[in-house]
Amino acid sequence: MSVRQTRTRIKICGLTRAEDAVAAVKAGADAVGLVFYAPSPRAVDIETARAVIEAVPAFVSVTALFVNPEPAEVQKVLDSVRIDLLQFHGDEEDDFCSQFKHPYIKAIRVRQASDVVASCMRFPGALAILLDSYKPGVPGGTGETFDWSLVPDELPKPIILAGGLTTENLALGISTVKPFAVDVSGGVEASKGIKDHGKITEFVNEVYRVDQQPI
């Protein structure tokens, strides 16, 4: 019997409270995400981010998420708090994302298979490509899945699967896409920006369970 060779990494996104970061770390999350996009109900300012990040120890990555930001906005966050990874979730191009000389992830909202392959080529500087659901007028955090069959098997960049993941659909998502990592926000919440600690633990444990299944 063969099982997955690498553990599926886990990012819990849209944190607004230090206690939710403590719960995510305790459950075993590999990364936490902070949303610096003001229209989001999960948006944080720098002082809130600072309080959340103080609860995140070494070896757990802090991701700062932006949507078509002004460069100065990104630089101010980088200069103010510990950010391990930038995540660009808008229409940014590789040169924009790379200008900060900081590791970054590029999010793509998937409508067709060619979106995925093209994105891996368009963002040579990206550490990974985050595949999210497309919903007109909603840049992210939709709570909806996309058609996972659109994701080709072999891609030149590590893939982070996002968009409507829950403990209930996780096994199918991982077995279909075989991502390097999974990303969840709404699926582990009590309300927008307020995480449900039990749901976080159940989500992480389900990833562990799926990873142990024969492939």
Ligand X SMILES: O=C(O)c1ccccc1NCC(=O)[C@H](O)[C@H](O)COP(=O)(O)O
Looking at 52, 77, 187, 195, which residue binds ligand X (CB under 6 A)? 187
Nearest distance from C-beta of residue 193 to ligand X, angstroms: 8
Nearest distance from C-beta of residue 128 to ligand X, angstroms: 12
13, 20, 30, 183: the active-site residue: 13
Query: Does the active-site annotation cover 132?
Result: yes
Instruction: Write the CA distances from 173 to 10, 112, 177, 183, integer angstroms.
Output: 13, 17, 6, 11
Indicate whether 179 belongs to the interface with ligand X (CB under 6 A).
Answer: no
Interface region with ligand X, contact rule CB under 6 A, candidates 2-10, 16-24, 116-124, 139-147? 139-147
Indicate whether 131 belongs to the interface with ligand X (CB under 6 A).
Answer: no
How many chain residues are in contact with ligand X, going by CB under 6 A? 25
Indicate whether 139 belongs to the interface with ligand X (CB under 6 A).
Answer: yes
Could you write out the three-class secondary structure of the chain? CCECCCCCEEEECCCCCHHHHHHHHHHCCCEEEEECCCCCCCECCHHHHHHHHCCCCCCCEEEEEECCCCHHHHHHHHHHCCCCEEEECCCCCHHHHHCCCCCEEEEEEECCHHHHHHHHHHCCCCCEEEEEECECCECCCCCCCCCHHHCCCCCCCCEEECCCCCCCCHHHHHHHHCCCEEEECHHHEEECCEECHHHHHHHHHHHHHHHCCEC
Q: Which of residues 11-70 bind ligand X (CB under 6 A)?
A: 13-14, 33, 35, 37, 40, 42, 65, 67
Q: Which of residues 90-129 bind ligand X (CB under 6 A)?
A: none
Q: Encoding tokens for residue 200?
A: 């976080």
Query: Does the active-site annotation cover 120?
Result: no
Q: Which is nearer to ligand X, 13 or 177 (CB)?
A: 13
20, 30, 132, 183: the active-site residue: 132
Catalytic site positions: 13, 132
Q: Which residues bind ligand X (CB under 6 A)?
A: 13-14, 33, 35, 37, 40, 42, 65, 67, 89, 132, 139-143, 162-165, 183-187
